[in-house]
Amino acid sequence: MMTDVLPGFDALTDSYNRRIDYLRISITDRCNLKCIYCMPEKGLKHFAQAEILTSDEIITIVRIACKYGVRKVRLTGGEPLLREDIIPLIEGIKRAGVQDLSITTNAQRLAGKASALKRAGLDRVNISLDTLQKERYKDITRGGELHRVWEAIMESERVGLSPVKINMVPVRGVNDDEILVFAALTLKKDVHVRFIEFMPIGNRETWRPDAYLGRDEIMARVALAGKLIRLPFKGGGPSRNYRIEGAPGMIGFISAISDCFCSSCNRLRLTAIGKLRPCLFSEATVDMKTPLRNGASDEELETLYRSAVLAKPAGHTLRDGSSDHPSLSPMSQIGG
């Protein structure tokens, strides 16, 4: 029996003895940007609004998950700050028992909202940022404004949504010449820069194996900024963390292909239309929305939740950047 779960409930482990304490929730499939590696230029067909989970439905599922050991929740999208009910949603999720609540955002709408989000119960922000060049940012995002991201970073730090984590996806021939520049941000301030491998998921028009950079190549470029000090691995997260000697900030490497972290994966994903997804790289899901809307009891929902945990596979099937997984849904629909 774990000591940090509600009385009478065990923290769930899956069939491979991984403790599942983290839930990522896509709260919308809509986005105000069309990043080149995420969406085709013509955009995607969105779910009807009636298909999207309501705040109350999300909070109910979080409450069930918290009974079984979930203590960390990240809100994703699409762009989660497009939800008009984001403040009461965050308040409700916090009340459900979540200890660590964060959000992944492109930050186009974060400046001006950071303080209210913090008061509602948000602990941290992850900001997707793939270039520090104004015009390149506009090109990669197909219309985004870089100055809004910097305003959001400064405001987030000011109100205590820290440490701010910056997610950068290096793509060869697109932005890989900025890897060292991003690493150097950690020399100046306490930000966490995470380099995420370009994966064969999302916009198939952009993915090609020769655009992929593996962990070793990325690390070699980062090491030009200074000696890398390995930090202790904590929890079951995917990031392997380092610090440049003497730097206040941190550097993380999330390498789903070249350094598979499946053996320590601690998460489930809840899609915007209410399906629990045991693995990002599998289409296997457990429908929570239909039973919920049909009046399922807590006991019935708990059974479904437990079945999703037990359905978690040993690992994904991506290999050296060459798989193309044609059946996988776009990232904006599954809340990667």
Query: Do 203 and 37 touch, CB atoms closer than 8 A?
Result: yes
253: helix, strand or coil: strand
pLDDT in 10s for each residue of the chain, 336 residues = 333 445 445 679 999 999 999 999 999 999 999 998 888 777 788 999 999 999 999 999 999 999 999 999 999 999 999 999 999 999 999 999 999 999 999 999 999 999 999 999 999 999 999 999 999 999 999 999 999 999 999 999 999 999 999 999 999 999 999 999 999 999 999 999 999 998 876 555 667 888 999 999 999 999 999 999 999 977 667 899 999 999 999 999 998 788 777 888 999 999 999 999 999 878 889 999 999 999 999 999 999 999 999 999 998 766 544 444 444 566 666 766
**Closest residue by Cα to residue 149 from 168, 123, 176, 172:** 168
d(CA 99, CA 119): 15
**Closest residue by Cα to residue 236 from 5, 15, 21:** 21
d(CA 123, CA 117): 9
Helix axes 298-310, 55-67, angle to 10 degrees: 70
Q: Could you tell me the fold of the domain covering 22-334?
A: TIM Barrel (3.20.20)
Return the structure tokens found at 133. 């060049």
Q: Around Cβ 143, how many Cβ atoms within 10 Å?
A: 11
Return the structure tokens found at 259. 């350094």
Q: Show the DSSP H helices in the chain as ranges.
A: 55-67, 86-95, 114-120, 134-141, 146-159, 179-188, 215-222, 289-293, 298-310, 331-334
* Residues 244-254: tens digit of each pLDDT: 999 999 999 99
Helix-strand-coil percent breakdown of the chain, rounded to 5?
35, 15, 50
d(CA 138, CA 185): 21
Q: Find where tokens 């021939």 sit.
A: 173
d(CA 13, CA 309): 7
Confidence (pLDDT) at 4: 46
d(CA 241, CA 229): 9
Q: Is the pTM for the entire model greater than 0.85?
A: yes
| Domain spans in the chain, listed from the N-terminal domain onward | 22-334
**Largest separation between any pair of C-alpha atoms in the chain:** 58
